[in-house]
Copies of this chain bind each other. A is one copy, B any other.
């Protein structure tokens, strides 16, 4: 198909497609002449992927470019693909919170809550993983704002997060390229899905009178206590 047909197939305007081509986000088509090229289904798939990473994942063009390059590395492992996806994502806290509060925590006399959680949950995670410092910083900022998560509550959130992560990595296809794609898309695109599900579930819990517990409520509480 020509670039106009690619535009129709994807709903992305021709000037945007030309921008993707210039930035290397989209691989070149088969040249037909000096000014025309032929595109195929791989281009349609790539355009959908770029659009989703930009619009749902909220990634900048540079981050999409780095992520796509990382995905093309034939040596890439499942963990490597996940790490690349995590690094491409915008930071989970505002830069000023990270900078100030991580610095405060590094010199803080009290023990790290993230490290305590890592040990308690028996997570196979490097103790120097920057995500742990980010967790301490975010928890510290929550506490400063007046939201102090007790240890038992944080443990229950960690267990719920692990159930999600097991789902994230389960049922990954055998084909390595398809597996990479699922892992990366799941990491980048599922946060909004999970946040919406959390808000819907909050409405369910809040709407439900106290004397009519949802079937899950008792078993969840029992399992977690």
A residues engaging B (CB < 8 A)?
11, 45, 48-49, 51-56, 58, 78-79, 82, 86, 92-94, 96-97, 100, 118, 121-125, 129, 131-132, 134-135, 138-139, 141-142, 144-147, 149-150, 153, 156-171, 181-182, 185-187, 189-208, 214-217, 220-221, 224
**What B residues does A55 contact at CB under 8 A?**
93-94, 96-97, 141
Write the chain B residue with the least CB distance to A219: B223
Cβ contact within 8 Å between A201 and B153:
no
| Among candidates B123, B146, B171, residue contacting A200 with C-beta atoms closer than 8 Å | B123
Interface centre among A138, A139, A185, A200 (most CB of B within 10 A): A200
Cβ contact within 8 Å between B129 and A196:
no
CB distance from A153 to the nearest CB of B (A): 6
| Among candidates B131, B160, B200, residue contacting A167 with C-beta atoms closer than 8 Å | B160
Cα(A207)–Cα(B118), bound, Å: 14
Cα(A182)–Cα(B167), bound, Å: 29
**What B residues does A56 contact at CB under 8 A?**
93-94, 97, 138, 141-142, 145
Cβ contact within 8 Å between B94 and A162:
no
